[in-house]
Structure 1
């Protein structure tokens, strides 16, 4: 039998528990909170115990416990209830840790994308403008190195150092600069064909095969990266196609 004494309306109960009256009605429908009798005026009247029960339900629901599970726990023994609470608490602890790590990454991103990369990568990116590379190229490289280090941490540093060594060679550096400048050329400009020839020749001389570094993998990431590079320029798209075609000869 329900205990009477101090009684409150559904609106008061909702304010005390921090939920809406609609939520209380949902809990009634789901069998989580018994629906009280109505008084002579036709209003539901709730007790202090209803408020306590509702706060427990709200707390469990706020922790992510499904309503069906809450209904089961309402009928569980004290021992089973406490064990379930411990499990929910452990899950929340793990989730909080995940959120904290996500928050750290978000703050690093807000502070500047370069903080997501190794110091030597940052130094490399910082020197590109002085070497003659466009802001577009620097932004592109920044995004690509973030992607490479995130998806291929075991080989990213080797690939990065291979590129920095290439930039130390005046001939190879000029090819990179020409690649940058080719962005705005007509796809069938003769300079595109000449650049493709030079890149293929330099690749064979540098690596001794028809494979570019980072391509000997089953991962889809290299193709994704190349697609990102060429997406903004029809000239780059044709240049990439020519390079691949000639490397297969």
Structure 2
């Protein structure tokens, strides 16, 4: 039996998409961004795609499978540009994508190894806290490290980790931390900033901070901090070029009363005076 067929000179968008391994929606997007010329419509008002259109679609599909961005595809099809320039640009784009994928894989592997949201923080932080037993850190501790990392960078959060190591391993200091947090939370809008309780609580917070510092020094955690600065000091400089600590802090909302803010400010002043006198 003899079989014969006639290949169509033009096809509709659905057939074009099916053959190229894409979707009509994607093809319409290619038209919108100028990656694929929009063909003339037939008598029924529908687009018709010819051989050259299909070749273009197939090349777009191949580039998409290779991970090439649509903007870079447009450059590759631009015959007025030097092909070597296009290839260099495409290679740089793919290299950047490859580096980003490696970074994401490292983050996922760290998250799996740590087994908690802590693994999403920088390796400087997770390395310092990875030896703690499960449950030693509270979710609020990890939240605080997340904010610190955003404001002061990975190095700042890694230094702050010393305090959480002490709190996780010294129940007495953890209990005092909880008491101070509860007392500060009680400084609501009904308390005036010049209330004597504010000054007293600020001094207690200062004393607690000094107690944490003494344990940090006694356990050698301060030496670990110095080593971090020696090895990773450039990370701090890199972070400062992205956003200043002051700018970042002003963008983070804290629903604290004026009295609580005054307590925090006063405790900071006491610590500043202590540093100035040392």
Q: Give the TM-score normalised by structure 2.
A: 0.53
Q: Deviation of residue 232 (structure 1)?
A: 4.6
Within-5 A mapping of 1:1-249: 6-11=8-13, 12-17=15-20, 18-20=22-24, 23=27, 27=31, 30=34, 32-33=36-37, 35=39, 46-60=49-63, 63-66=68-71, 69-73=75-79, 80-81=82-83, 84-85=86-87, 87-102=89-104, 104-105=106-107, 111-116=115-120, 117-118=125-126, 120-121=128-129, 123=132, 126-127=135-136, 138-148=138-148, 151-154=152-155, 156-161=157-162, 164=165, 175-187=176-188, 188=191, 191-200=197-206, 220-221=244-245, 231-234=254-257, 236-245=260-269
Alpha-carbon distance, 1:31 to partner: 8.6
Give aligned pairs, total.
225
SS of the residue aligned with 1:126? coil
Kept in 2: contact 1:65–1:88 (CA 8 A): no
The offset of 1:121, in angstroms, is 2.3
The Cα of 1:101 is off from its aligned counterpart by: 2.1
In structure 2, stretches of 5+ residues that fail to align are 1-5, 214-221, 226-235, 274-278
Q: Deviations over 1:151-180 (max 9, x none)?
A: 444454444335645887888656423312
Q: Residues 164 and 241 (structure 1 numbering): CA distance in 2 closer, same or farther, change over 3 Å?
A: same
TM-score by length of 1: 0.57
RCO higher in 1 or 2 (8 Å CA, sep ≥ 6)?
Answer: 2
Unaligned runs of 5+ in 1: 129-137, 208-212
2: distance between equivalents of 1:155 and 1:68?
A: 43
Alpha-carbon distance between aligned partners in 2 of 1:155 and 1:46, rounded to the nearest angstrom = 58
